[in-house]
Structure formats: C-alpha cells, structure tokens
Amino acid sequence: MPKQRWTSRLGVILAVAGSAVGLGNFLRFPGIAADNGGGAFMIPYFVSFFLLGLPLMWIEWTIGRFGGGFGHSTAPGVFHTMWQKNRFVKYFGVIGIFGPVVIFSYYTYIESWLLGYSVFALTGKYAGCGDSGAMAEFLRGYQGLTHNEHFSGLGTAYLFFMMTFAINVIVVGFGISRGIERFCKWALPLLLVIAAVLVVRVLTLGAPDPALPENNVANGLGFLWNPDWQALREPHVWLAAAGQIFFTLSVGFGVILTYASYLRRNDDVALSGLTAAATNEMTEVVLGGSLVIPAAFAFVGAAGIETIARQGIFDIGFITMPLVLGKMAYGQVFGFLWFFLLFVAGVTSSISLAQPAIAFLEDEFNLSRREAALLFAVITFLLCQPVIFFYGNGVLGEMDFWGTTVCLVVFATVEVILFAWVFGIDRAWTELHAGSDIRIPSIYRFIIKYITPLMLLTILASWIWTDWRRHLFLEDIPPGDKPIILLTRVGLAGLFIFLLLMVRIVWRRRSAAAAQEIDP
C-alpha cells in the first residue's frame, strides 16, 4: 500500500508541536520552576534546551526522515537502516515502541479526568468544594479511592475514560493526513487561543483582597521569575531543568522519529524542527509561566504559594486551580476553559503516542490502517484496566517510571550515539541539511557529537545513583501494594519481550524473502 504523507509543512509542524505541548507546559513547568530557584531555574533550563533538547529534536527529525525513505516508520527499522552491519541494534529500537504504548495506557486515563472536570466546571458539580481538603476529597471520589457525597464508585470516571479513549482511537484510525494532521491543525490553534484568554484574565486580576494589596499577579510573576542565584549551586536544579526539557519537547520517546518518517526526501527538517521546538517553548514559558503561579499568588499570597509550588501536577491542576478560578467572576466558564485547554493539549500528545505502534503494525505486518488501529486499541485498552482499577496501589506511578524515566533517557542516549558516532557526524550533518532552508551553526556538530551524549550519560548516571535502587527494590512501596507492583512489572516485561519477538519474526521473514530473491 502507498506510504502515508503529511499534506503540508504546517501540518507536520503543528503535529510535532502538539505532541510536545501537553500537561507539562501548564502544570509541571510553573511548579518545578518556582520550586527550583524561580528565575535562576531558567538559566539551566535554556542551557538544557540548546545543548540537549534542540539537538535531540533535530536528530529525531533527521533519522526519522532517513528511515522513512527506506519504508520504515519506527525505531527498529530506522536503527537497522542506519547500522545494517549490527544485527542487534534493531532490538534497541523496541524501546521506541514500548515506551509510547506504556505511556498511552495511563496518559489517556489522566486525560479523561480533564474531560470530566470540563463538564463538572460547567455544571457546577464541584462548586460546593470551598477549600483544598474538600476539593481533594472530590478528586478521590472521582478516582474511586473513596465513596463520598459526590461519587459512589468509578462509574462516572469510567464513562469519561471510554469517551476519551474512543476519541484517540478515532483520530489515529483516520491516518496521518486525514486524522492526526487534520486534528492538530485546529486543536493546537484552539488551545493557544484558550491559553491566551486565560493568561489575559489572570494578568488583569489585580489584588483580589484589598486588605492584602501585596497579593497580586505582579508579585506572583516576581515569585516565579525573580532569581534565587544560590539555587544554581544545587545539582538537582540542573537535573530538574534537563528533565523538564526532555518531557516538554517529547524527545526520547520515538514519536517525533515516527512523525518525521512521513516526510519526503527533501522536506526541510532543520527549520521544521526548530519551529516546532520554538512553538512549544513559547507555549510553556510565556503562557504556562503566566497562569498557575501568578493566579494562585493573587489569592493565597506568599504564605501559600510555596506549598503550591511543591505540589504534584495533579494537586495543582485538579485542586488548586479550580479553587482559584472559582473565586473569579464567571468562574465556571474559566474553570471549563482551564480543563478543556488541558484536555485538548492531552489529546494532541496521546495521539502521537499511539502512532509508533500503529506504524509498526502497518509497515512490518502489512496491516491496513483500520486493522492496525483496532489491534492497538484492543491491546492498550487491556493495559489501561490495571491503571484504572489499581490506581490507588501505585500502578500508574510504576508504569510512568518505566515508560518515561527509564525508556526516555535510554532511548535518547542510544539514538544520539547511533546518529553522531555510528552513522557518523559528517554524514549526519549532510543528512540534516538536505533540503534545508537554513544553515545550523557549525558549533552544533561539536554539541551533537560530544556535549549532548555527555549530558545524557550524566543524567542517566545521576538517576541511577539517586532513584533507581530505591525504586527497583520497592523501598517506598507499602507492603500491601508490593504484589500488585511486582505483577505490573511482570506484565511490562512480558509486553517488552513480546515486542522483541515481533521484531525478530519480522526480520526473519525479511531474510527469508531476500534469500528467495537471490536463489529462486
């Protein structure tokens, strides 16, 4: 069957930017920046962007387009094409399918909360929750962790999950141009408009309490952006900044690689990659940085903002912001806009997570788009169930650790070494500039070959030193939850082995077909 293609440069840029623009831009970024030195955090943040994020963005665009020219849209085939003499490298590419599948399986559930809360905001269902304790109890009831006056079980949450899951499957089922590209062409501008409306509303708040004039948006922006220069001496601040760049640009997942495989040989990857990265950064720094912390500061002041800055993204998004927005005029409308903004951003990310596995089934097993999407839907729907029904036992966090923390860094490290050292920086540089409208500064030859892999290896070593042992040996897991977490690990290991076997079957078939052509 003919290979699918993007219909325009704008379409692929919006799709890649949509993959990157997600919950991290509006929830994770402001909290982590305020908690790590405010304005000083932006120094390691932009250092990481230029030395880590942007090089990886260009690498994934380039190797994706290169592999696509040989009929491969996923990492196993692309990696094999780049290093054909090594018969094992394709198995490292399995990480680029496994990670997105695992993340999709819990991300869509979180995404469904946003759809539910969009409806709750308009109907005023949580309007009676006047403080953080009541709002937290509302969320726990929705998640099925408790029975309360708001919810008696998981029925409501499961309904919104089914709706969200169906939306994702329908979009990816229509393919690259008629599904993903068409959706992102209206979704990304829509979420940017909604974000701009919310930012304007926040910036015009003034001081809500005349008795506390210091509690205003300007001081909230100051809390976020005024630098604590002492923080630059702390290694964890630099690691936090590098981690945020990873998550916000969606590099290291294999998603951008797959998107770029649908480009034509001379489609520009240098300018397109830069444009997609810049769009995400504008959304995160300008819009994301002007919402949560400044709005919360205006209502709770310096006393409460430090606590909020240290809260997880779930608390900020589902507890703090509904309370803050509810205190504004037309709070129900702005509450809806907040949650719908996050929902749309979530969908543009989750549909990208579905594409590597679907592309693998299409390319390597010759399934039609609908057949591949249906098989993917069945597998991931089953994977979603433990997340939903054992959420309170830590299954989501376990899947997030392996799908994001581990896979992301390992995959990015493999691809940058493969690109700069195996493929060769001279050949890689030529490939990167094929059909390009811009010339990337030559300093990036040195950065891509030496600095980016060194930073990745440092992050990997630091996480192994600080977190992995504790996590691997379940040191922070309650005894009653350990059997469930161990079963989750067995299931994830089984999925990974299954994908390895699928790759092995594909290449055996390829070898057999090649042998028949040589000796009929």
pLDDT of residue 36: 82
* Burial (CB count within 10 angstroms: exposed 0-12, middle 13-18, buried 19+), residue 375: middle
Residue 204 lies in a domain: yes
- What is the C-alpha to C-alpha distance for residues 448 and 55, in angstroms, rounded to an integer? 6
Q: Are 64 and 83 in contact (CB under 8 A)?
A: no
CATH number of the domain where residue 468 is located: 1.20.1740
Residue 205 lies in a domain: yes
> Which pLDDT score, from 0 to 100, does residue 181 have?
94
Q: Which residues of 10-48 are buried (b: 16+ CB within 10 A; e: fewer)?
A: ebbbbbbbbbbbbbbbbbbbbbbbbbbbbbbbbbbbeeb
- What are the mean pLDDT values of the chain's consecutive 10-residue runs (520 residues total)? 79 89 85 82 92 95 94 93 91 95 95 96 92 91 92 92 97 94 94 93 81 83 84 84 86 92 92 92 89 84 74 80 88 94 95 96 91 96 96 92 87 95 96 93 96 91 77 87 95 96 90 65
- What pLDDT, on the 0 to 100 scale, is given for residue 162? 97
pLDDT at site 320? 85
- Find the helix or strand (DSSP H, E) in which 500 lies: helix 482-518
* pLDDT in the model for residue 191: 92
**Number of structural domains in the chain:** 1
Closest CA to 295 of 214, 218, 182, 196: 218
Reduced to 3 states (helix: H, G, I; strand: E, B; else coil), residue 437 is coil
Domain that holds residue 379: 9-513
Torsion of CA 206, 211, 214, 220, to 10 degrees: -50
Domain membership of residue 3 (yes or no) is: no
The answer to the question of residue 502 being in a domain is: yes
Residue-level pLDDT at 20: 86
Domain membership flag for residue 519:
no
**In this predicted structure, what is the pLDDT of residue 409?**
87
SS3 (DSSP) at 399: helix
478 is a domain residue: yes
Residue-level pLDDT at 302: 73
Q: Match 């993903």 to its residue by tokens.
A: 180
End-to-end CA distance of the chain: 25
Residue 230 lies in a domain: yes
CA separation for the pair 73, 351 (Å, rounded): 15
Q: Which residues pair with 227 in a beta bridge?
A: 38
Cα distance between residue 328 and residue 202, in whole Å: 9
Spatial contact of 205 and 295, defined as CB atoms under 8 Å apart:
yes
293 occurs within a structural domain? yes
State how far the Cα of 269 lies from the Cα of 13, in Å rounded to an integer. 10
